[in-house]
Structure 1
Amino acid sequence: MAFDPAHPVLDLGESSTVLTQQICDVESVSGDETLLADAIEAALAAQAPHLEVVRDGDTIVARTHLGREQRVVIAGHIDTVPLNANLPTRYETVDGEEYLWGRGTVDMKAGVAVQLKLAAELTDPVVDITWMWYDHEEVSNDLNGLTRLARNRPDLFAGDFAILGEPSNSQVEGGCNGNLRAEIRAYGLRAHSARSWVGDNAIHKASEVLGVLAAYEPRQVEVDGLVYREGLNAVGISGGVAGNVIPDEVMVHVNYRFAPSRSGAEAEAHIRQLFPEFDVRIVDLAEGARPGLDAPLAQRFVAAVGGEPKPKYGWTDVARFSAMGVPAVNYGPGDPLKAHADDERVRLSQIESCEAGLRAWLTGAA
């Protein structure tokens, strides 16, 4: 029977590449995850009787209860950023490599597909596992499914180690940068543009803010053996009243990605120090996470999947687990540079290698 994205029935016995295509073809832009969450819940109930399944909103949690000495949390989000004529998915070959093209293939439904397949098949892993598939990751933190789950069921986060299936080219990426967004405001005095000398043009003052940003040299910071690159950039600017009015206010929207060696409070202080003469308003702040690779479970995981660990430059929910005292890493198929891109596509070999690496580690085969 052909797969129908409007009425999805997931067969967790399919290959992880086929599952990726099916999951991606079910549209689940943030705020519209219910159809996919329903399909995941139904598939687990029918095909994974060894798991306890818990639902909170559109977040699905599935757990083993084998009495193992250690528990691992493996999580992935099921939402995507908005579409732009990039569904349904399709297979394509680029430079001899096979890819699955389409929204969500990289961020991060390929990782979710691998996790679902392993959740159904691994009935006797060497550690107890808590699988989490959550909603609203691509939007503000207050809507994030893990934020809600931590409030409603904090017990579900218990674990000795956590893995986020965020795209990392199927290599281990430790920790993540912190993320701060600030609105830098300058003020002036309105006047008729024909008599501008009696006013004070706020927009002209934005040049001072932009000058600081243009001259800024972002740091490269080594944290627990990994080098994190920071970034400070203007990502928006607004101001103006009318075509014949000298504006009395301008706002430059600034994004600061800071190394996990710096706390959120220190990041805020740094921004305020850079713009002492301006009205600085912090509108979003997410702490970073140290790599967490010194944990014994993490070291065994890295040894099992191979490769040299790298830093994660973007913010991910590893920071949430790190704040709870659970060391966490990113490990999932897909090139992060293709996340959110209109030509988003994942290499099929990375889906397969990610599945093989997780399977070997969770079964003790490596």
Structure 2
Amino acid sequence: MPNDASPTVPTALDLTGDVVALTRALVDVESVSGNEQPLADLVEQALRRHDHLTVLRDGNVVLARTETGAPERVVIAGHIDTVPLAGNLPSWIEGEGEDQLVYGRGSCDMKSGVAVQLSVAAACERPVRDVTWVFYDNEEVEAERNGLNRIARTRPELLAGDFAVLCEPSGAGIEGGCQGTMRVEVELRGRAAHSARSWMGENAVHAAAGVLGRLVDYAPRQVEVEGLTYREGLNAVDIRGGIAGNVIPDRCVVAVNYRFAPDRDAAAAEAHLRAVFAGYDLTVVDVAEGARPGLDQPAAAAFLAAVGGEPRAKFGWTDVARFSAMGIPAVNYGPGDPSKAHADDEFCPAAEIRSCREALLRWLQG
């Protein structure tokens, strides 16, 4: 169980020791989005102690590159920020041996993955394919603050590669690509009246029944893309209307979230929703493209062979989509159960941290 002690914040990171101990050291450096600088400083200092790496710093994004002249370059990325704390620092351990679990904010999402990155970056001095290691800030907040997004926009040459791995929690299995996401608002109009004389108005909230009925009757697709099956979803996520308890509402808005397979782009997703809600006033308020798996690429095939297991589709949106937008196929691969990300009892199995480290080493060392 967690204790009330203050975390012993490390003054340096040891990238050559036990990767589970490194995970705990990273967790114990609080780095809620917007407060990543202390951890970025430690990451930069630790990487600069390894002569085979060329280290660059851009704000609170730290990049480390090998320059062996290999014919392929891969990008391996992870974010160093976390969601706000919930009484879950400092880190703690439960269980013994292979059943050991590392608890604490960021242990799953995704400081265990970052620990794997750092440990492998230090250990792999002569990889068979050149590597760009990326440690970025502000992933857990709005896109305009996202460090990877900023680098992709201002210094895209730093992210160039043939294949990318995002070390987001995936249960130590490969999750290919990601779903796209679109949020729309369906607006219903009525006519205001006193609720004692409701027949003199038109209730916009009641009119939302038609929208909700279409959602209830909707059959989401299951789509195979490059051998992986993506399940779509279309759901109301918010409904608002009315101004007072004695007024018939003249306006109601139903917010709908569409999670779409990566065989559709944003334009196709919007066209589909306009067909589903034909006859209604619909406004797109947020959209992010998905990403195809790209598992047919040579570097991806070698990655699959090194990691083993059966790849599966990623349900949800991740920063692999940013690589996909740059023409770089990408997968999610990291320790931890995604359902434990952001949970108050967030944890990561130590065995998965170690197995992910071993798999990345096998891949990079050939």
Q: Give the alignment's TM-score, normalised by structure 1.
A: 0.93
1:314 to 309, 313, 316: 316
**Matched residue, 2:288:** 286
Task: Report Cα offsets for 1:69-122 as digits up to 9, x if no partner.
Answer: 111100011122223232222212399822112221111111011001111222
Task: Report Cα offsets for 1:243-295 as digits up to 9, x if no partner.
Answer: 22222222222111111111111111111111123222212111111111100
**Matched residue, 1:245:** 247
1:20 to 6, 23, 27: 23
Task: Report Cα offsets for 1:292-334 as digits up to 9, x if no partner.
Answer: 1100111011101111111111111111112211111111001
Moved over 4 A (4+): 2-8
Task: Report Cα offsets for 1:140-182 as digits up to 9, x if no partner.
Answer: 2222111111122111111111111011111111111111111
**Matched residue, 1:42:** 45
**Matched residue, 1:142:** 144
> For 1:138 and 1:56, how far apart are their aligned partners in 2?
19
Aligned letter for 2:23? T
Listed as ranges, the gaps of 5+ residues in structure 1 are: none
Listed as ranges, the gaps of 5+ residues in structure 2 are: none
Compute the displacement of 1:231 (Å).
Answer: 1.0
Deviates more, 1:305-314 or 1:183-192: 183-192
Kindly report which structure 2 residues correspond to 1:195-344, keeping only aligned pairs within 5 A, or say none.
Answer: 195-344=197-346
Task: Check the 8 A contact 1:136/1:145 in 2, yes or no.
Answer: yes
Aligned letter for 2:31? S
> For 2:98 and 2:120, how far apart are their aligned partners in 1?
28
Deviates more, 1:236-245 or 1:93-102: 93-102
> For 1:287 and 1:162, how far apart are their aligned partners in 2?
17
Matched, 1:176 2:178: yes
Query: Which secondary structure state, in structure 2, belongs to the residue aligned with residue 166 of structure 1?
Result: coil
Compute the displacement of 1:20 (Å).
Answer: 1.2
Change (3 A) 1:249 1:35: farther
1:51 to 45, 50, 53: 53
Task: Check the 8 A contact 1:260/1:290 in 2, yes or no.
Answer: yes
> For 2:145 and 2:281, how far apart are their aligned partners in 1?
28
**Matched residue, 2:12:** 9
Cα RMSD between the aligned structures? 2.0
Task: Check the 8 A contact 2:6/2:90 in 1, yes or no.
Answer: no
Deviates more, 1:189-198 or 1:266-275: 189-198
Deviates more, 1:347-356 or 1:190-199: 190-199
**Matched residue, 1:353:** 355
Task: Check the 8 A contact 1:8/1:26 in 2, yes or no.
Answer: no
Change (3 A) 1:240 1:82: farther
> For 2:351 and 2:215, how far apart are their aligned partners in 1?
40
Change (3 A) 1:174 1:282: same
Compute the displacement of 1:352 (Å).
Answer: 0.5
